[in-house]
């Protein structure tokens, strides 16, 4: 089965492809010559994921899925949340975003946070949603060079290293996206049989 992943982010596509069986081939927006900047105007992760998957179906008539992910920090009332990618501005610069989080959390004892991913799958005209959550804490300094986004400051519960210090395989086993993708895989395997 070929599925379009509604993203231009090759990191995310590679991460998900590694978690999928060989029978499912992930293609990105680039593979279908979609260079549109799909709007993310909803105020929830569920809404944005749905908006993106439906956009691809309407314009390209292909089965696809889209995700939206947010870092939700307790002490910041759930920020950056749905604005995670552009928290520090429209440039979507990961370092600027992390620096803003670290600045806002300066002196805060509560560093509890969670990453949450929502996947919207559009398959044969029907929508299905899957959610994955991983809880952890925000480190006071960046650590590690793997991953992307907020990975260098997020330490998942049960570990003494950040996502950015893990291999992609290690991260996929426990990550929010990995958990949502596993639900997607389980669904697709049942759907295909």
Domain that holds residue 68: 2-192
What pLDDT digit, counting tens, does each position of 120-160 carry? 999 999 999 999 999 999 999 999 998 889 999 999 999 99
Report d(CA 133, CA 153) in Å as an integer.
Answer: 17
Asked if pLDDT for residue 15 goes beyond 80, the answer is no
What CATH number is given to the structural domain containing 175? 3.90.950.10
Say whether pLDDT at 58 is over 90.
yes
User: Nearest to residue 103, comparing CAs of 82, 76, 81?
Assistant: 76
Active site residue 68: yes
Query: Of 14, 31, 68, 93, which residue is the catalytic one?
Result: 68
pTM here?
0.88
Q: Are 49 and 119 in contact (CB under 8 A)?
A: yes
Question: And the tokens for 19?
Answer: 């978690």
What integer best gives the mean pLDDT of the chain? 92
pLDDT at 20 over 80: no
Domain count along the chain: 1
Residue 13 has pLDDT above 90, yes or no: no
Share of the chain above pLDDT 90, in %: 74
């Amino acid at each position: 089965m070929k599925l379009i992943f509604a993203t231009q982010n090759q990191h995310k596509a590679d991460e998900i492809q590694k978690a999928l069986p060989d029978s499912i081939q992930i293609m990105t927006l680039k593979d279908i010559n979609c260079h549109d900047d799909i709007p993310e105007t909803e105020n929830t992760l569920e809404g944005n994921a749905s908006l993106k998957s439906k956009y691809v179906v309407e314009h390209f008539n292909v089965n696809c899925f889209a995700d939206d992910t947010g870092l939700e920090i307790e002490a910041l009332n759930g920020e950056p949340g749905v604005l995670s990618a552009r928290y520090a501005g429209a440039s979507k610069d990961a370092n600027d975003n992390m620096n803003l989080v670290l600045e806002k959390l300066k002196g805060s004892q509560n560093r509890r946070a969670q990453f949450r991913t929502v996947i919207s799958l559009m398959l044969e005209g029907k929508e299905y949603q899957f959610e994955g959550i991983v809880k952890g804490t925000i480190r006071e300094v960046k650590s590690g060079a793997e991953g992307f986004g907020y990975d260098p400051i997020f330490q998942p519960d049960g570990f003494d290293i950040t996502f950015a210090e893990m291999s992609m395989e290690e991260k996929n086993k426990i990550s929010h996206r990995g958990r949502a993708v596993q639900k997607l895989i389980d669904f697709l395997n049942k759907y295909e049989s």
